[in-house]
Structure 1
Amino acid sequence: MITIKSEREIALMRESGRVTSEVLDLIGREIRAGMTTLELDTLAEQFIRDNGGVPSFLNYAPKGDPDVTPYPATLCVSINDEVVHGIPSADRVIQEGDIVSVDCGVFKSGYHGDSARTYMIGAVDARVEKLVNVTKECLMRGIAQAVAGNRLHDISAAVEEHARAHGYSVIENMVGHGIGTELHEEPPVPNYGRKHTGVRLKEGMALAIEPMIAMGRSRNAVCRDDDWVAVTEDGSPSAHFEHTIIVRKGKAEIMTLSGPTRN
């Protein structure tokens, strides 16, 4: 069931969104070649708890799937061909030229915020830099369609059209989602689709929109044996950006904007 958030609930979601964005701001200041992904995770967890929140991802497991090992970390840190759900480790060292996608969720005051950014480490290949920039553009084009009266797949089509116009592939088996008191709520928000289809968007819907775009021909992410980390089928680089938004009339409200641009 898709829930419509009240203004009281939206005010609470602004706070979880603020902390989520500030975690990613912190990561952006600290991330560098030579760090381990576990160091990033430790920084993030400490910041979240110092700000009265709880990591949304830590010990998360999909409902109805008892065979999946709960997620063991605060962040998902995915490097190069890893699409999403990269597990932080003391053995995984970030290298010059990597692209590092960091996904963060914060639970505070009963509501979740969820956001992701892809960071470029030092000198990155120009083709990969373009992928990162286009993926961010895909996110903003999708958000521009998240207004009351539109259809859900207007968001999806905007993401897909921009990615394919640049020769990139959309990862089809990883999608965005509704969000609120639960990290993952209805409806799923795919990154591909046909305009003017899907449920009608109503003011107060809360969505996590998250394009995952690959340089190669991969249309699906393939999970490794650890249940979690998902990589491109062909080993090509992948980028990931995400915002939590509220559907409004005329223009969506972004709950996880960075710094002084925050709503």
Structure 2
Amino acid sequence: MFSDRNAKCWCGSGLKYKRCHLEFDQKIESCKLKGHIVPSRDLIKNQKDIEGIKKSGLINNGVLDLVASKIKAGMSTLEIDKLVYDYTTEHGAIPAPLNFEGFPRSVCTSINNQVCHGIPEEGAILEDGDIVNVDVSTILDGYYSDASRMFMIGQVSEEAEKLVKVARECMVKGIEAIKPWGFLGDIGAACGEHAHKNGYTIVRVLGGHGVGNQFHEDPFVPHIGEKGTGMLLVPGMVLTVEPMVNEGVYDVFVDEENDWTIYTEDDKLSAQWEHTVLITETGVEILAK
């Protein structure tokens, strides 16, 4: 049953339901009757939410631009953490990782065989030939954004350079596969196909996620999958696309000492890029990159 057509819309826009989400809800109901998995209403952002996430994303982008201008061999990952914390707080925002479920730093810095959730440390010094993922997440006025970039330190091997390049291509292809009223599986199919074509694997137990009003929201975004399957992707959803691409096997393990950092099982390299993406009526808009 649909709400009163002349009542204010459930999304919080302040508009009458008939001028806001009535047609949208009718389409959702039609898809549901066809057996598709549909998103719940709390996953649909209104214009106020979207503007808030965009502003958060601008700071997030600024943090990563700053890191890009400073990162170099001989730098500790703790120095990167300080850059992130200082820039974020000076712009009136909060680093989302700091104290999140006990995480002790403001950013994740994952080097070489570290897949994700690397903890910045004074003794972790970047060396010539390293590849490192810097994963930044920002809270501004209660709105979250999330993005990561790979950095190649000095002269890296051809193998490492190719992995970094292909990992970014996997993310781009995953984003390009997103269509309004398409499916979650379309993202994973595009990412996985490109990785496998280049001889790499995609980490399966980790993936992207909804984001915006919370750090991690539904849906979980797998980066392997089958086209035309999974949850319906509809305008107003905001999620991350962040395939973790491994040089060897896709298996990973968690560091027993810190219970955070995730490594490749076979000690080979891993690379990841991440964008926050808004699904619109006509395609997608990148909010953090």
What does residue 4 of structure 1 align with? 44
- Where does 1:77-88 land on structure 2 (aligned, <5 Å)? 77-88=109-120
Task: Decide which of 251, 255, 262 is 1:224's aligned counterpart.
Answer: 255
What does residue 18 of structure 2 align with? none
Give SS of 1:198's match: coil
- Where does 1:1-263 land on structure 2 (aligned, <5 Å)? 1=40, 3-61=43-101, 70-217=102-249, 219-225=250-256, 226-257=258-289
Task: Measure how far apart 1:109 and its partner are.
Answer: 1.6
Whole-Å Cα distance in 1 between the matches of residues 161 and 75 of structure 2?
21
String of CA shifts for 1:142-199, please: whole Å, max 9, x gaps.
1112221110110111100010000001011111000111100000001111110001
Whole-Å Cα distance in 2 between the matches of residues 90 and 125 of structure 1?
25
Whole-Å Cα distance in 1 between the matches of residues 280 and 176 of structure 2?
11
Moved over 2 A (4+): none
Task: Measure how far apart 1:37 and its partner are.
Answer: 0.3
Give SS of 1:255's match: strand
Give SS of 2:159's match: helix
Q: Would you say the 8 A contact 1:17–1:106 is kept in 2? A: yes
Whole-Å Cα distance in 2 between the matches of residues 149 and 82 of structure 1?
35
Task: Measure how far apart 1:8 and its partner are.
Answer: 1.4
Whole-Å Cα distance in 2 between the matches of residues 249 and 83 of structure 1?
34
Task: Measure how far apart 1:21 and its partner are.
Answer: 1.0
Amino acid at match of 1:50: E
Whole-Å Cα distance in 2 between the matches of residues 16 and 221 of structure 1?
31
Gaps of 5+ in 2: 1-39
Whole-Å Cα distance in 2 between the matches of residues 120 and 177 of structure 1?
26
* Structure-1-length-normalised TM-score: 0.93
Amino acid at match of 2:193: E
Whole-Å Cα distance in 1 between the matches of residues 207 and 195 of structure 2?
15
Give SS of 1:105's match: strand
Whole-Å Cα distance in 2 between the matches of residues 43 and 77 of structure 1?
12
Give SS of 1:103's match: strand
Whole-Å Cα distance in 2 between the matches of residues 249 and 199 of structure 1?
17
Whole-Å Cα distance in 2 between the matches of residues 139 and 244 of structure 1?
11
Give SS of 2:100's match: coil
Q: Would you say the 8 A contact 1:174–1:221 is kept in 2? A: no
Q: Would you say the 8 A contact 1:80–1:99 is kept in 2? A: yes
Task: Measure how far apart 1:248 and its partner are.
Answer: 1.4
Length, aligned pairs only = 248
Give SS of 1:97's match: coil
Whole-Å Cα distance in 1 between the matches of residues 115 and 73 of structure 2?
20
Give SS of 1:94's match: coil
Give SS of 2:259's match: coil
Task: Identify which of structures 1 and 2 has the higher relative contact order when contacts are C-alpha pairs closer than 8 Å and 6+ apart.
Answer: 1
Whole-Å Cα distance in 1 between the matches of residues 181 and 282 of structure 2?
9
String of CA shifts for 1:121-149, please: whole Å, max 9, x gaps.
01110111010001001111111122211
Q: Percent identity?
A: 40
Whole-Å Cα distance in 2 between the matches of residues 176 and 220 of structure 1?
17
Gaps of 5+ in 1: 62-69, 258-263
Q: Would you say the 8 A contact 1:100–1:120 is kept in 2? A: yes
